[in-house]
Chain A
Amino acid sequence: MKPALFDYVAPETVEAAVAALAGDETARPLAGGQSLIPTMNFRLSAPGRLVDLRRIEALRGIAVADGTIRVGAMTRHRELETHEGANRANPLIGEVLDNVAHIAIRNRGTVGGSIAHADSAAELPCLLVATGGTVSVQGPDGSREIGADDLFRFHMTTSLAQTEILTEVRIPALPPGTGYAFEEFARRRGDYALAGVCTLLTVEDGRCGEARIAACGIGARPVRLAAAEDALRGRAVDDAARADAGEAAREYMTAPADMQAGVAYRTDLLAALVRRTVATAARRAGG
């Protein structure tokens, strides 16, 4: 199908873009368009005005400094995926992005767009929650910072106001010695995952120290699996600990059955992905 009519503006500054959003309550920002345009083609959404952010230079670029990877909101997935400095600072980034759709989509889709779109099965929001990242947003009253835990409210719903634009995504570098892993399962390569799990952990004297585990595709937003983390801390990361972490993850499943998977299957999948990512992360942490 074809999209409904809309006004189109492509301002050159964030301030002008915010003003253009404020002038029409049906206005939406257009970043890479890889999620928004299909919904418009299906007429699932019909914004009255699109504010294209492509001309705003301030929203581009990647900088790695002081233990943080700062990513301009309009940076394409593929740029971040192939950025050496960012991947050296946090190798989880490349592992996650490799699972996002296909190269042609990653060439166009933006990091800020994916996070602001907040699909509950999407990988980048899950990465942000797992790593404890933050975003900057700018609106009519200035800019503010939002932590990952306060950003994602519901499927495709964030705590941004309609007049606010996400300007920067900050992903912490991994502290030395941190093991990492991301794994997801989808029916077809490149599809949204039935479930995906990000795991970060440290191993000290053969025992799990810090652990951060987050999952996507299993509820209305990406979630931290705190009970699974608790099941690991202070223990040797052996088969029994991994199994306990997987079992503890089951309580976080809130996704209803859909045409792709029933609840029991998805819950088993979640537990399996927790076990596998914990094993990989522990191995990479030297445990």
Chain B
Amino acid sequence: MAKTVLKKPIPAASSDPKVPVTLTVNGETVTREASPRMLLSDFIRHELGLTGTHVGCEHGVCGCCTVTIDGRAGRSCLAFAVQADGAEIRTIEGVADEDGTLHPIQQAMMECHGLQCGYCTPGFVMSMLSYLEETPEPDLSEKAIREVLSGNLCRCTGYANIVKAFRRSVELMNAAAD
């Protein structure tokens, strides 16, 4: 049987009308043309090539695409890139030091075996980072930690170790601050 031939080639780029978007990502100011309907998650991954931000559900439930927007954790799949025009974005690529030294939260996730497949990890780290920067003296009870982490899903279900990593993060951050 003959192979179906496409009537028209698949376009290499979207033909959507575009608007310029300028934002700061991990300290670097960038400008790109984007369709208003382009989600911030797609902008980060496809326009900026920062693929550490993962996309799971694309409707705000799984938390994999969490980044910080002007310092606060937010779902990058529930924002259009144009809404972030002028904003400061931080992604998982901007969390470790430039020399590769892990952030205390990343170090804690590693020490506590807080990740298995790793797909959800960038989202968890960004949620923890935002919360711990907002809250100098966090409540370290099991209930309070689970509340903070409740917006991120781990389908390897490794939650017990992620809760441990949250506590260890606070220890490491306090030690670094002393």
Contacts and interface: CB of A to CB of B under 8 A. Distances in A.
Contacts of B75: 34, 104-105, 108
- Chain A interface helix/strand/loop/mixed: loop
B36 A108 contact: no
B17 to A, nearest CB: 8
B122 to A, nearest CB: 13
B88 interface: no
Contact of A33 (B35, B79, B127): B79
B37 A38 contact: no
Q: How large is the interface on B (under 10, 10 to 19, 20 to 34, 35 or more residues)?
A: 20 to 34
Interface residues of A, number: 29
A53 to B, nearest CB: 10
Given A2-B37, A50-B36, A30 B60 contact: no
B89 to A, nearest CB: 13
B52 interface: no
Contact of A108 (B39, B58, B69, B131): B69
B32 interface: no
Contact of A78 (B72, B77, B80, B82): B72
Nearest to A42: B59
B36 A37 contact: no
Contacts of A102: 63, 150-151
B99 to A, nearest CB: 29
Q: Which of A2, A4, A101 has the most CB of B within 10 A?
A: A2
Contacts, number: 85
A5 B37 contact: yes
Contacts of A10: 82, 85
Q: Which of A30, A78, A102 has the most CB of B within 10 A?
A: A102
A103 interface: yes
Interface in A1-21: 1-8, 10
A83 interface: no
A33 B78 contact: yes
Interface string A26-50: 0000100110011001100000001
A6 B37 CA distance: 7
A283 interface: no
A268 interface: no
Given A2-B39, A52-B83, A189 B78 contact: no
B36 A34 contact: no
Contacts of A108: 69, 72, 74-75, 78-79
Interface of B: 16, 19, 35-37, 39, 42, 58-60, 63, 66, 69, 72-75, 77-80, 82-83, 85, 127, 130-131, 146-148, 150-151
13 contacts: A1-B58, A2-B42, A4-B37, A8-B82, A38-B59, A38-B60, A41-B39, A41-B58, A103-B127, A103-B148, A107-B72, A107-B74, A189-B150
The 5 closest A-B pairs by CB, nearest first: A102-B151, A8-B36, A38-B59, A107-B72, A104-B73
